[in-house]
Structure 1
């Protein structure tokens, strides 16, 4: 019997790893798997930062806590869902292009260059704090630093300042990032 799920061998390869000793937490491994399934379902050639952001929000309560329980989280999910059903933000015609300087080795081919770089940055963040595993919030911080990323575009459309998201995660603050539309300081 033929599977109704299209096969994209490029997307079924492993998670990029460029020699850092920090590995991925179980939660982050699940996030990558969810992003991979989302990319396949959406018919995209590669996992991009918006796939990662959507999966992070679905799988990790610590990532959701960054955005609080209010309307900005609902708006963010709304844009991500619209994108996944082919309404609103559409990027299927191209590849997320930033991340110049990243190699195109076999274990990064399933990720856009920017998403592959973010995966490595998450490992680097974990290594810098002496952790053996990268966490979901490490990846969140890594996907919001490039203003050309699809994740940043989705955040901006939802009225969320990616600079504040990064600052919040980087400082390990205990409360949610204030809604950028309100102009409140963190």
Structure 2
């Protein structure tokens, strides 16, 4: 998201399928009491909504570990992240607490949304979809999404390389 952009303009350039993903990530952040919706919220919502994303992270044992870790985070593990801003250095940090029924994006999540739009345009698409957002999430080695993936045994660097080497979609990891 460009500097100074309003947080509710994030749906521009994103496909309809991602509207549900973004809404789910924001609801989760507010429900969890997090200051901002971060890349782990986006990852959790993508896993809930998109079967391709679920398949890309590996077989059932790995997916179960990943979802279990995300649920643990939402019920307490994430307390070490509460009150902090996820920032991978992509854009300036302007922290504001979540209010009402929406949460602003963390700087890293906003950067991932921007990279997803850019990736979709490079692929000749008008709007970003789940593959674009997932690729953007796993491409940031300093994001919370990558930390969550690593703790669940998913090699984000390898996953990112497989996504980029593929036809723009996901290459399934069957090493689960």
Q: TM range, normalised to the smaller chain?
A: 0.7 to 0.9
5+ unaligned residues in a row in structure 1: which ranges? 1-11
Give the alignment of 1:30-179 within 5 angstroms.
Answer: 30-87=20-77, 90-102=80-92, 110-170=104-164, 171-172=166-167, 175-179=171-175
List gaps (5 residues or longer) in structure 2. 1-5, 95-102
Which SS does the other structure have where 1:133 is aligned?
A: coil
1:35–1:52: 8 Å Cα contact kept in structure 2? yes
**Counterpart Cα distance in 2 of 1:101 and 1:58:** 28
Task: Kindly report the root-mean-square deviation, in angstroms, between the aligned alpha carbons of the 2 structures.
Answer: 2.5
The answer to whether the 8 Å contact 2:86/2:107 transfers is yes
The 10-residue stretch of structure 1 (150-159 or 160-169) with the greater mean CA deviation from structure 2: 160-169
Q: TM-score, normalised by structure 2?
A: 0.82
Which of 1 and 2 has greater Rg? 1
**Which ranges of 4 or more aligned residues in structure 1 deviate by more than 4 Å?**
none
How many residues matched?
Answer: 162
